[in-house]
Amino acid sequence: MSEIIIGIDLGTTNSEVAVVQDGQLTVIKDQGSALLPSFVGLSDNNEILVGETAKNQYAAYPERTIKSIKRSMGEDVQVVMGEQSYTPQEISAVILKRLKAIAEQHLGHSVTKAVITVPAYFSDTQRQATREAGDIAGLEVVRMINEPTAAALSYESDQKTHRRVMVYDLGGGTFDVSVVNIENDVVEVISSHGNNHLGGDDFDQKIIDFLVDHLKEKQGIDVESSSKTMARLVRAAEIAKRTLSDQPFAHIEEEYIAEKDGQPIHLSIELDRKNFEAMIEDYIEDTLESVHIALSDAQLTASDIDKILLVGGSTRVPLVRECLQKKFGMEPHSEVHPDLCVAMGAAIQAAMIGGAKVSTVLVDVTPYTYGTSAIGHINGEYTPFMYCPIIHKNTPLPVSKSEVFATSSDGQEVAEINIYQGEDPDALNNIEIGKFTVEGLKDVEAGNRIVISLNLDLNGVLNVSAKEKDTGLEKTITIENVISRFEEAQLDTARDRIDAFFAINADEDASDIAPTGKDEHHEARSLIEKAQGMLEKANNEDREDMVNIIEALNAAIEAEDTQKIAENVEQLSDILYYLEN
Ligand code: AMP
């Protein structure tokens, strides 16, 4: 048997380890998650903490917790953690050592070799530092590959055919775009561009600003001085952003968000996807500017690109896909998990070096686009049958998506909903797979909003609902076998694909370090101690919040109520984080 070489994505925010074993690709989970937060810390007993536990203590103990060490790789600096200082290589080595242990636990034997990914823009010094980190962790880095190359490998099993792929990678805090050339078994980055300070965190900030302004204008309160309120807004904004990736509206409901003249203030507002898109369009425009630069650096134009791959959590924002589709006239691909495809590509490269055969990474996706029709224009011509896609082809299953439409005439009490399968902008050129009417709509002016939701499951069953937004009046239909155009043999392949997909997620219990209840209490108690030490520094409002949470946390510890402990630890950590930053 050939020696197993692991594949590692050593990321700024999260890191992952993957492996190919008997032709089967697995991203290895630790404590139920494939993402290991790239945080390293020291506990108050001077024990080393890596991942979630280190991340959890960051708010309370930033002086002995390190995050985003990747940004310092290759620099001649030392970072302080507790009483001592360390090189970036040493901190990265701690993360690598943890990933090595996770892989060893999963495989049941020791591992000594790895393929590690690095950003395409990493200099020789940064690459050398990464190699040294591997050495320190007891891993021989048999090859270092560029992250976009790894992403391309996770999609392209056949490297013989000549193709040019664009990898668009938008994460929480960084953006990169690369043009990758695939020819005769050589996969190489031919140009790369990006912005180290652009990502989903900026999108969150726009929503936070919007909420702060709303509270100022509508309630006359300024919440920016309250860390507790701001921490809640940060969390609510990120949740709303994720909701808007699948739904046309997000409701933001935060009770008792603040107080005015002794009266509680509740935040209740609806954010519309269109408004959110207007907030972030300049950021997306900036990314397209980088796309343009990467293309001209490669001396190519948009039409030279064969395939666009989406990498990074923020590519789930629909506007990203739409803008790329408009620019390139083709659907971008995101069927391999955008957070895991880099680690998968590293493992595929590792297996190839080790001489193992790798079957393609396959996930179950819809091969067709599904949508409805509306009044609109096709090539400037008026039509009542403009196709409006809702679920795009190549989306992993199961999937639920909603879009909002509006009635076109005053007093319209009936809406006819047609559902199509296909890609043509003219709905009549697609296959109509279902239709129904919603009757009894409110007698109002044109513009009455109807939300159409499509839910497609792994068995090809499509549930469709149309709901009048203002009244909740709803009609639903189920359309069976919408993917049944599969031949029987294709169905078998699809089943195998699904099995393979789930096998990737099947290693729930690879962990050997599940935290015990006792440890959680210990963490909570340390946090209380820390918060008590900071009460003096806090303003009156924060102090009152902190005292209340400490009280609730003590009661939860007393009652051994794990959920309440976790909730209060989270709230208290958020406040401390704000006070310290
Ligand atoms: P990454 O650095 O690739 O892990 O990406 C993290 C970023 O992706 C964060 O800003 C997340 O809020 C964002 N993200 C994750 N899921 C979604 C989603 N469904 N819609 C929009 N943004 C998302």
| Within a domain: 429 | yes
Coil, helix or strand for 500? helix
Half-sphere exposure of 431 (CA within 13 A, CB side): 9
Assess whether the C-beta atom of 242 lies below 6 angstroms from ligand 1.
yes
Q: In the prediction, which pLDDT does 275 show?
A: 97
C-beta of residue 26 within 8 angstroms of C-beta of residue 16: no
Assess whether the C-beta atom of 241 lies below 6 angstroms from ligand 1.
yes
Q: In the prediction, which pLDDT does 516 show?
A: 34
| Within a domain: 423 | yes
The identity of residue 223, as a single letter, is: V
Assess whether the C-beta atom of 314 lies below 6 angstroms from ligand 1.
yes
Ligand 1 center–CA 275 separation, angstroms: 19
Q: In the prediction, which pLDDT does 521 show?
A: 74
**Closest residue by Cα to residue 51 from 75, 28, 74, 73:** 28
Residue 326 annotated among the catalytic residues of the structure: no
Ligand 1 center–CA 169 separation, angstroms: 11
Which segments of the chain have a pLDDT < 70? 1-2, 157-159, 359-363, 483-520, 581
Q: How many whole angstroms separate alpha carbon 32 and alpha carbon 37?
A: 13
Q: Are residues 415 and 350 in the same domain?
A: no
Instruction: Kindly report the CATH number assigned to the domain that includes residue 451.
Output: 2.60.34.10
Ligand 1 center–CA 259 separation, angstroms: 32
| Within a domain: 313 | no
Backbone angles phi, psi at 169, to 5 degrees: -120, 105
Give every CB contact of residue 354 below 8 A, 6+ residues apart in sequence: 2, 3, 4, 5
Q: Are residues 346 and 416 in the same domain?
A: no
Q: Which of 147, 176, 335, 468 is catalytic?
A: 147
Q: Are residues 346 and 383 in the same domain?
A: no
The residue count of the chain comes to 581
Q: In the prediction, which pLDDT does 515 show?
A: 30
Domain boundary among 327, 354, 381: 354
The identity of residue 280, as a single letter, is: I
Q: Are residues 535 and 470 in the same domain?
A: no
Atom of ligand 1 nearest to the CA of 173: 2
Residue 44 annotated among the catalytic residues of the structure: no
Q: Are residues 53 and 107 in the same domain?
A: yes
Count Cβ neighbours within 10 Å for each residue of 227-239 and write b for 16 or more, e otherwise: bbbbbbbbbbbbe
73 token code pair: 């790789």
Q: How many whole angstroms separate alpha carbon 138 and alpha carbon 133?
A: 9
Q: How many whole angstroms separate alpha carbon 95 and alpha carbon 101?
A: 10
What does pTM read for this prediction? Answer: 0.74
* Structure confidence by residue, pLDDT tens digits, 559-574: 888 888 888 888 888 8
Among 314, 315, 395, 400, name the best residue to mutate to test ligand 1's pocket (greatest count of ligand atoms within 8 A of Cβ).
Answer: 314
Residue 169 annotated among the catalytic residues of the structure: yes
Q: Are residues 482 and 403 in the same domain?
A: yes
Assess whether the C-beta atom of 37 lies below 6 angstroms from ligand 1.
no
Domain boundary among 473, 503, 533: 503
**Closest residue by Cα to residue 87 from 78, 97, 95, 74:** 78
Indicate the pairing of strand 65-67 with strand 39-42.
antiparallel
Q: Are residues 347 and 461 in the same domain?
A: no
Q: In the prediction, which pLDDT does 326 show?
A: 92
| Within a domain: 54 | yes
| Within a domain: 30 | yes
Assess whether the C-beta atom of 467 lies below 6 angstroms from ligand 1.
no
Query: CA-CA distances (angstroms) from residue 90 to 48, 69, 133, 309?
Result: 12, 10, 6, 33
Q: Are residues 29 and 140 in the same domain?
A: yes
269 token code pair: 């507002």
Q: In the prediction, which pLDDT does 496 show?
A: 57
Q: Which of 70, 100, 206, 241 is catalytic?
A: 70
Task: Give the closest residue (by CA) to ligand 1 atom 19.
Answer: 242
Task: Give the closest residue (by CA) to ligand 1 atom 15.
Answer: 313
Atom of ligand 1 nearest to the CA of 245: 20
* Structure confidence by residue, pLDDT tens digits, 166-223: 999 998 888 999 999 988 778 888 898 988 889 998 999 999 999 999 999 999 999 9
**Closest residue by Cα to residue 449 from 489, 403, 491:** 403
Give every CB contact of residue 371 below 8 A, 6+ residues apart in sequence: 387, 388, 389, 390, 391, 419, 420, 427, 454
| Within a domain: 253 | no
Atom of ligand 1 nearest to the CA of 200: 10
| Within a domain: 256 | no
Q: Are residues 478 and 578 in the same domain?
A: no
Query: CA-CA distances (angstroms) from residue 357 to 117, 157, 348, 376, 466?
Result: 21, 11, 9, 50, 48
Q: Are residues 531 and 432 in the same domain?
A: no
Q: In the prediction, which pLDDT does 484 show?
A: 55
C-beta of residue 450 within 8 angstroms of C-beta of residue 404: yes
352 token code pair: 């190839």
Give the total number of structural domains in the chain: 3
- Residue tagged 């690879």 (tokens): 510
397 token code pair: 């299953």
Q: Are residues 559 and 435 in the same domain?
A: no
Q: In the prediction, which pLDDT does 504 show?
A: 45
Among 117, 242, 271, name the best residue to mutate to test ligand 1's pocket (greatest count of ligand atoms within 8 A of Cβ).
Answer: 242
Domain boundary among 469, 503, 537: 503
Assess whether the C-beta atom of 172 lies below 6 angstroms from ligand 1.
yes
Q: Whole domain around residue 104: which residue ranges?
A: 6-158+338-354
Q: Are residues 151 and 10 in the same domain?
A: yes
524 token code pair: 């909570």
Residue 204 annotated among the catalytic residues of the structure: no
Instruction: Kindly report the CATH number assigned to the domain that includes residue 65.
Output: 3.30.420.40
Ligand 1 center–CA 136 separation, angstroms: 31
Q: In the prediction, which pLDDT does 141 show?
A: 94
| Within a domain: 554 | yes
Return the ∠ at Cα 523 (arms to 522 and 529), rounded to 5°.
90
